[in-house]
A and B are shown apart, each in its own frame.
Chain A
Amino acid sequence: MKQVLASSAPFLSGAPRGTRRILIDVLIALSPCLIAASIFFGWHVLVNAAVCMAACYGAEYVYNRLILKKKKLPDFSCLITGAVLALILPAKAVFSGWDFNFYADGFRTGGGADNILFSFDIILGCIIGSVFAVALVKMLFGGQGKNFLNPAAAAHVFLLLCFAFTALNTTGFGFTASNGAFLDGDKGTGDTGLFLAMFIGNQASLTAGTTSAIAILAGCIYLCVRKIIDFKIPLIGIGCFLLFTLLFDGMIAQSLLMRPDTPAKLFNNLAANLMAGSFLFCLVFMANDYTTAPVTFTNKVIYIAGFAFFTVLLRSFSAQGEGAIFALLLMNVLTPLLDRYVVPKPFGYTKPEKRLKAAKKLLSEPTVQEETA
């Protein structure tokens, strides 16, 4: 007879394929965004994604070997970090300090033109960002499931602040407006061509992989069908986002400016706000990141509402072009607090009677001071 195992119950498992299935599903869900990005911003996005994923895997492998002295190979979660990071970075970029890009007429300094053939700057950014994300943000805090910030989001902000890169995302339509342009009161009025472009992803953006609403939607539906995420959470997030946009950017702003808008204009404003920038991508792929999101449904709703609130706040009032990733990091930091202090009451919980009785006693009996007074 074989050695009989003696660990405690339960002896069956409802998840025979383990975490690997979940991680692969997330990678599959990210692929429409990657495809859309490579269509609109060129093959460079694919190169970026490959470099990021390889660098993330390598960083985790080296960290495991050198610092943890473990021979175990990293799992797929670092590949997800790499893919997400590549998607929230521009396809090509020029760093403010140097310019290693290869242009149509060779290497040169002080460029900034659009005709970059191969962007060594963004490749460098990908590698630095990946190592930062995996080694510092993830592994240093305990690795898989322990990091308190989304590694890709943290790396994005790190690169943005340290290297102040200029994104060079040109599209087929030659449309190069920044996100900021949409946030003005008179945006995109009735321009259906613009909305279609935004929906399929043909718009300028600081980030390469977050422009295509339809690709994000496809990924989101896949994740919901595979039960990786709860479909209610993105819906609540979009609802909150529209509500806060209406308040901050729509009604309040306009009533303060004494500039009443037509309902059509308000609607355009909302739709443009929703599809511009990286809010949708962050909502589906990063705010639903298991590690940095709270665990109960109530807390998830609070988290997602806070994420939408800060995104709109940053978009409406800050000079920073991109609000969603900063808002996400802000809510990441709040997650441990939410989980600690908003704990569901166990089944059958009743309020302690002592406290109730004491409160009733206080209410019913007049106190001594009152009598003497």
Chain B
Amino acid sequence: MLNISKHHKVCSRHLPICEMPPPDKVYIPLVQHVGKPAKPIVSPADKVKKGQLIGEADTELSANVFSCVAGTVVEIAEMDTPYGKCAHVVIENNRSEDLFLFKPLSGALSREQILQRIREAGIVGMGGAGFPTAYKLASSAQIHTLILNAAESEPFSACDFRILKERPEQFLRGALLLSNGAGAEHAVVALGYDNRAAADELNKVIAEQKLQNIKTTVLKPEYPQGAEKKLVYAVTGKKVAPGKLPPSVGALVCNVHTALSAYYAVYEGRPLYSRLLTVSGDGVHSPANVCVPLGALFSDVLEFLGGYDAENTVRIIGGGPMTGLPLLHLNYACEKRSHLLALLTESRAQVRPSEPCIRCTRCVKACPMKLMPLYIDAYSLKGDIENAARFGLRACIRCGSCAYVCPSRRPLVQSVILARNTKEEAAE
């Protein structure tokens, strides 16, 4: 198995959380989640408060969208996101502190109350997946263990660690909310090996607050320990079959930031309008863990942090450097799914053309799903999807381990995506 963080030292893990003031203009995407786009319920020239609902989820598989500033709606414009185009609500910040909050809940809460609030507050999986949390918690029956994914096995990512370090109590109480919301018997905080320093803090809070049904565990220093199936196996010892989801073995995986957001939504009444973003990579002048209003452009964030190395940056990555999305420019809005913005210079990105496969089998050894990436690559480039499937096309979790170790720089993950797209086209 791979140990990636050993080779790529992280540069923002030690930096405390800082707050970014909202910029003059924010561009709030109406799609910040998996599922149907939120329906805009404001129109141009409307006055909005900070925390006010501006995009409404009209189905279960969608999420509410809130304004992160108080101000005036300028327009509703179609703009680029890393995932494709979607409507953005553009709001001009009038710098007033008009705040709209839900009524904080307290005392013993029923499962329905928790789910209701999580749904209202527009909380989605904040580790990058963006799956509506309420839907996920409600739709899975017979959950035994709720796993809080604090693995952060990708290099550079650090915001989960900062939450564990600086907001351990809020996080743990949020984790229990999610656990109750899922009807799970207990919750396990699965800390990645690099995050093991946070275990003491968490255990101290658990002991002090006498929290029940929650414990911490430290994972092995391997990549990809944060991948859902590997995580479920590491924590519960149960294997999730290919094409199945963790609830099939009675487990559910949630992100650390999701739990924190659930805490704020339930106990403080704050909807999801800001999130923690790690800005890292050697192209950034001052890496940081910054609390960003959702809708601020990445360029605004970098400006707030003192700019970046525009001369030498050759890669802009939204998400982790192993599984994230390539960004073409910085004019994307920060959204619920963005946990990491990494800028790499040429020396770190090591861009080289790919060479023919020499069958060194490093990809086969590195694959956590025991697939044969070199054959998937060869067959998918030939367009032979049936044979690519023989070697595990369906089971691939796209963790990028194979392409990471490949000495010939084969774009192995790209081939998997290509083959899956070809398959889908054929199905249509």
Residues of A within 8 A of B (CB): 1-19, 21-22, 75, 77, 143-146, 290-291, 293, 295-296, 339-340, 343-350
Contacts and interface: CB of A to CB of B under 8 A. Distances in A.
A19 B408 contact: yes
Given A4-B327, A347-B239, A11 B409 contact: no
26 contacts: A2-B312, A3-B314, A5-B314, A5-B326, A7-B414, A9-B321, A9-B322, A9-B325, A9-B326, A9-B398, A10-B321, A11-B315, A12-B322, A12-B350, A12-B404, A14-B405, A15-B406, A15-B409, A290-B360, A293-B359, A295-B359, A295-B361, A295-B372, A296-B372, A346-B371, A347-B229
Contacts of A4: 313-316, 326-329
Interface in B308-341: 310-317, 319-329
Interface string B18-42: 0000000000000000000000000
Interface stretch (B2-10, B62-70, B159-167, B259-267): B2-10
Contacts of B403: 9-10
A6 B312 CA distance: 15
B221 interface: no
B349 interface: yes
Contacts of B314: 2-5
Contacts of A3: 314
A317 to B, nearest CB: 33
Contacts of B177: none
B108 interface: no
Contact of A343 (B2, B360, B391): B391
A9 B239 contact: no
Contacts of B395: 346-349
- Which of B352, B407, B408, B413 counts the most A-chain CB atoms under 10 A from its CB? B407
A353 to B, nearest CB: 10
Contacts of B229: 347-348
B311 A2 contact: yes
B315 to A, nearest CB: 5
B293 interface: no
A346 B405 contact: no
Interface stretch (B208-216, B269-277, B362-370): B362-370
Given A6-B328, A18-B407, A291 B371 contact: no
B237 interface: no
Nearest to B240: A348
Sorted nearest first, the 4 A-B pairs with minimum C-beta distance are A10-B400, A346-B395, A348-B239, A15-B407
Given A1-B313, A295-B364, A8 B359 contact: no
Contact of B324 (A9, A16, A143): A9
A6 B317 CA distance: 9
A18 B315 contact: no
A2 B313 contact: yes
A11 B317 contact: yes
Contacts of A14: 2, 4, 7, 404-405
A150 B369 CA distance: 30
A236 to B, nearest CB: 16
B105 interface: no
Contacts of B240: 348
A201 B211 CA distance: 71
B370 A347 contact: yes
B405 to A, nearest CB: 5
A219 B273 CA distance: 61
Interface string B37-54: 000000000000000000
B242 interface: yes
Nearest to B406: A15
Interface of B: 2, 4, 7-8, 155, 229-230, 233, 239-242, 244, 310-317, 319-329, 342, 344, 348-352, 355-362, 364, 368-372, 374-375, 390-392, 395, 398, 400, 403-409, 411, 413-414, 417
Given A10-B403, A14-B2, A343-B372, A290 B358 contact: yes
A7 B182 CA distance: 38
Contacts of A12: 4, 8, 155, 321-322, 344, 348-350, 404
Given A1-B313, A343-B390, A18 B374 contact: no
A300 B2 CA distance: 21
A45 B240 CA distance: 57
A339 B364 CA distance: 12
B358 A22 contact: yes
A18 B408 contact: yes
Given A2-B312, A5-B315, A19-B408, A11 B358 contact: no
A347 B369 contact: yes
B413 A11 contact: no
Contact of B414 (A8, A16, A75): A8
Given A18-B352, A347-B239, A11 B321 contact: yes
A345 B322 contact: no
A11 B344 contact: yes
B358 A19 contact: yes
Contact of A350 (B241, B316, B327, B349): B241
Contacts of A144: 355-356, 358
A146 B358 CA distance: 8
Contacts of A2: 311-314
Contacts of B328: 4, 6
Nearest to A296: B364
A190 B313 CA distance: 70
A349 B241 contact: yes
Contacts of B319: 9
Contacts of B362: 15
A356 to B, nearest CB: 14
- Which of B233, B315, B329 counts the most A-chain CB atoms under 10 A from its CB? B315
B361 A290 contact: yes
B118 to A, nearest CB: 29
A291 B358 contact: yes
Nearest to B242: A346
B242 A295 contact: no
A6 B356 contact: no
Contacts of B351: 5
Contacts of B411: 7-8
Contacts of A10: 321-323, 400, 403-404, 413
A345 B229 CA distance: 15
B324 A13 contact: no
A13 B350 contact: yes
B359 to A, nearest CB: 5
Contact of A21 (B7, B359, B407): B407
- Which of B310, B368, B395 counts the most A-chain CB atoms under 10 A from its CB? B395
B310 A1 contact: yes
A8 B409 contact: no
B369 A346 contact: yes
A175 to B, nearest CB: 39
B375 to A, nearest CB: 7
Contacts of A349: 241-242, 395
B10 to A, nearest CB: 12
